[in-house]
Copies of this chain bind each other. A is one copy, B any other.
Amino acid sequence: MRQEGIIIVISAPSGAGKTTLCRELIKKCPDIKESVSYTTRSPREGEIDGLDYFFVSRDEFGAMIGNNAFAEWAEVHGNLYGTALDTLDEARRKGYDIILDIDCQGAMKLKEYFEGGIYIFILPPSMDELRRRLENRSSDSREVIERRIERAKDEIKEAKWYDYIIINDNIDAAFDELSAIILAQRRKTSRMLEKIVKLFEI
């Protein structure tokens, strides 16, 4: 039997640096794949269907909910986001590790549903620094920034039930910590047992 892939769930308030960290991870670890979520929101410029998201209509999304096709789904700022069961089943079956960049609501649902994933929460070093980062993104209006900060305060409370917490003060250090958590998970005895039984005939 092939060793099941690890399901790595990452959440963070907007501005904590999650997207950068996930991209870096995918780039440096070709054996980790990124889960592509379904969403009802419109594609932003440059986003590609099937690569960034599977863009579907609200009706299509509703039908998938009806068919129990989601491992988790959640509504964020009026848009629906979900991870298909098929995506996770395939990763497990084929034995590759998969990273899920999902919000706290989705992560909590997944934790109830799926056993054995690891849950990592990325935090900014402080609320002041989070505000600074959000303000430096010229793309967001003041109103959007205030909404994100209010939401961040709520999300940070959820960090408590995650398995690991990374404070992203420095992107290189945070990346090392994320990589270490995944490498450690791969060396857990439950994941190594099959290999050592073969090697040493124990």
Any chain B CB within 8 A of the CB of A188? yes
Q: Across the interface, do B189 and A165 meet the contact criterion of CB distance under 8 Å?
A: yes
Whether the Cβ atoms of A196 and B127 lie closer than 8 Å is: no
The answer to whether the Cβ of A49 comes within 8 Å of any Cβ in the partner chain is no
Q: Is there a chain B Cβ closer than 8 Å to A160's Cβ?
A: yes
**Count of residues in A whose CB is under 8 Å from the partner chain:** 35
Residues in B whose Cβ lies below 8 Å from that of A180: 179-181, 183-184, 187
Q: Which of B157, B164, B187, B200 contacts A177 (CB 8 A)?
A: B187
B157 pairs with A202, CB closer than 8 A: yes
Residue of B nearest to A156 (CB): B200
A1 at interface by CB-CB < 8 Å: no
Report chain B residues within 8 Å CB of A156: 196, 200, 202
